[in-house]
A and B are shown apart, each in its own frame.
Chain A
Amino acid sequence: MNSQSSPSLRQALTPSDNDSSPERKALLAEIDASCRRPVLFMFANGLLWLMAGTALALLTSYKMHSPNFLADWSWLTFGRVRPAHLNTMVYGFASQVAIGVAIWLMCRLGRVPFMQGGLVVGATIFWNIGVTVGIVGILAGDSTSIEWLEMPGYAAYILFIAYALIAIWAIIAFRFRRERHLYVSQWYLLAALFWFPWLYSAANMMLVIDPVRGTVQGAVNWWFAHNVLGLWFTPIGLAAIYYFIPKVIGRPIHSYFLSTLGFWSLALFYNWAGIHHLIGGPMPAWLITVSVVASMMMIIPVVTVAINHHMTMVGHFKKLKYSPTLRFIVFGAMSYTVVSLQGSSMAIRSLNEVTHFTHYTIAHAHLGVYAFFTMVMFGSMYYIVPRLALREWPSARLISIHFWTTALGILLYVVPLSVGGVLQGLAMNNPDIPFLKTVELTKPYLVTRTFAGILMTVGHTVFAVNFVWILARRRKAYQPPVPFIAAGLQQEAGAQLGKDI
């Protein structure tokens, strides 16, 4: 791996068209135009689900410490609202926005316009019908009670068909790419687009449509649920990070070798880690041990990717001040490192003995899906939307509020709840403490979580407002880019801004 010895590799890694010629700009404009309708449509629907999911989240959180709130209608009982929240966020918001980002990245990196935008808009409508049917099904009492797969079978069919109709076009964009060199983001995207339908269909086949017997269901359940995060959200999140950091700061990613090692070790290990959710449970010892080992092996891709991202950023941290994209993306990238190393540690049997069955796990899950993945998606949308809507973000202040409420919100969510979870676990493992005490001692942390939720709700609302505003704004010949700094500093940073958003 000597960097001097490989001029041919250097040549192979350089895109053939990285110049600023008018032809190239025209191609980019053409690609953006082709993505405009399907991707914006996905983002808009995703944001609708984000707002619905946020409302469900607040309700769930509030019910956890005030169980009498809205308890008399079966549709809103805790055990239905909670899975409704999870499924809204996972399938309505996160997956939909992820597909939008994936399509745009695929086209940009392959230098090829998106085909069949209209058809994909139709398929997206179908997807949203599927999510609606699924959520209503859960609230009505048709939940499968299989974690991460609660949507009833009839909704799962709709989702799968809709997904196939959408993803096929992203893969076609990959197949007919004009740039032969495959950038690291494309590896992750191709993998995620292929892995998800396999996971989703296999899990539905083996758990909902024709269930396997006994605890094999547990193994399939956690193979699936863990991999929704590991092989669906994570690769798309990493693809976005790998694209936007070098894109925004204008510098190559640190090391191709680290990229390669990071990708293949993730592909190799992540998918074996899921059964660590059942440590101590009725699973053969070997199955759990295999997952514990795989979880620890995840340190390899995580550390590799962290170094790769950090070394790319080094010397450019000042740009976090000007670019909302970069700010969200870097926050997400750092969270990815933290949450992954935390996840590996939670698979160690002696730590798991304490944290299993507690709020610590819930905090961990939100650190992954929100602080890492959702923040990366927010950052990506800040970059992509102006290029598709052909307008600048109308309000820098709203972007700033969005960042700080969500960033502080998720910290206020995760840190106290993790502490509460550990205390809960320690108390639970002491048989001389009555169980009810383990419930009571967590209450302050649950109340804190509700406050954190309110902060994040403010952030989401502000983002939605900015999003509607940018779409509704009258298109002018040219609008100056919105500076992403405190209002008073705008002038000073003006020159910088023109380049870096």
Chain B
Amino acid sequence: MNPPSNPPPAPKLDPHEDHELHDVMQIHTAILRREKAEPQEGLEPMPIWLAALFGALLLWGGYYLGRYNGGFKALVFDEKSSGLPIMAAKPPGSVDMVVLGKRTYTAMCAPCHQETGLGLPGQFPPLAGSDWVNTAGHARLVRIVLNGLTGPMEVNGQPFNNSMPPWRDSITDEQVAAVLTYVRQSWGNKAPGVPIDDVKVIRDKTKERANQPWTADLLKATPESE
């Protein structure tokens, strides 16, 4: 062992432990005696296949970074393009109304009216077998979806007193038609579907109500077919 040129300073041990020093060294030696030398490094060469793997990885990385960098622009979020996205003009008839109706129902309606259409007793009225849903005309239902409904009402003879929010600014005419068609033809309901154009007409007709919800009485006062 090469002694260091400057002798190390004496270990600063806790003064309370000084009387133990001799004893401690003796015990410690037992532990240290079986201890192997401090680790050192071998000099095995790097396997060639490893270098090849790394080369391949670097090539892939370069390719991927070059291909999917979005032009390094702040407002490009789609890794496959390098410019701003083009407005997607939906080709007419591309939407499957059945799928749209079910998905809209699950996202917007099911939290209250439940996936089963049964609603929650005393809170949210049922749609399945409901006397409000299984009607010949659908104008009233379109009005409810667009503007919501608040205050006391009766469904299948059961009283409810809650608020349904307006959906006018949240969903499209297509969605209103699709979801109402879904509601009127699920869980044993067998009422006719709702055409998109009818929704448009009623949306225009009720424009001045903005987002003010209906009450049951007001709705009863408007004829079902308008």
Contact = CB atoms under 8 A, between A and B. Distances in A.
Contacts of B65: 289-290, 293
B27 A296 contact: no
26 contacts: A13-B40, A13-B43, A16-B1, A23-B1, A32-B28, A33-B13, A34-B11, A185-B39, A248-B36, A249-B36, A255-B44, A257-B45, A282-B77, A285-B68, A285-B70, A285-B77, A285-B78, A286-B70, A293-B65, A296-B60, A297-B57, A307-B47, A312-B42, A349-B79, A390-B27, A434-B110
B87 interface: no
Interface in B1-46: 1-4, 8, 11-14, 23-46
A376 interface: no
A443 interface: no
B210 to A, nearest CB: 31
B57 to A, nearest CB: 6
Contacts of B28: 29, 32-33, 387, 390
Interface stretch (A3-11, A41-49, A95-103, A140-148): A3-11
Contacts of A15: 37-38, 40
A146 to B, nearest CB: 22
B30 to A, nearest CB: 5
B27 A477 contact: yes
Closest 8 CB pairs of A and B: A285-B70, A246-B39, A250-B36, A285-B79, A256-B41, A255-B44, A3-B43, A252-B42
B226 interface: no
Contact of B42 (A2, A248, A256, A499): A256
A259 interface: yes
Contacts of A392: 31
B41 A481 contact: no
B106 interface: yes
B196 interface: no
Contact of A253 (B11, B41, B57): B41
A299 B57 contact: yes
Contacts of B110: 434
B41 A255 contact: yes
A290 B69 CA distance: 8
Interface in A13-69: 13-21, 23-30, 32-34, 37
A203 interface: no
Contact of B39 (A117, A183, A286, A499): A183
Interface in A211-255: 242-243, 245-250, 252-255
A311 to B, nearest CB: 7
Given A1-B45, A292-B64, A478 B8 contact: no
A20 B28 CA distance: 14
A286 B78 CA distance: 9
A166 B77 CA distance: 43
Contact of B45 (A27, A28, A255, A436): A255
A34 B12 CA distance: 7
| Contact-size category for A | 35 or more
A407 interface: no
B74 interface: yes
Contacts of A1: 45-46
A351 interface: no
Contact of B69 (A27, A37, A289, A299): A289
A330 to B, nearest CB: 15
B187 interface: no
A113 B12 CA distance: 9
Contacts of A481: 31, 34
A346 B77 CA distance: 20
Interface in B61-93: 61, 64-65, 68-79
B74 A253 contact: no
Given A16-B1, A29-B28, A297-B57, A6 B43 contact: yes
Contact of A109 (B38, B53, B71): B38
Interface string A373-393: 000000000000011001110
Contacts of B60: 296
B25 A285 contact: no
B1 A25 contact: no
A458 interface: no
A25 to B, nearest CB: 5
A255 B42 contact: yes
A19 B103 CA distance: 75
B115 interface: yes
Nearest to B75: A284
A296 B32 CA distance: 43
A33 B24 contact: yes
Contacts of A476: 27
Nearest to A289: B68
B221 interface: no
A184 interface: yes
B50 interface: yes
Most buried by B among A21, A183, A289, A431: A289
Contacts of A261: 46
Nearest to A475: B27
B45 A2 contact: yes
Interface in B143-183: none
B39 A296 contact: no
A300 interface: yes
A138 interface: no
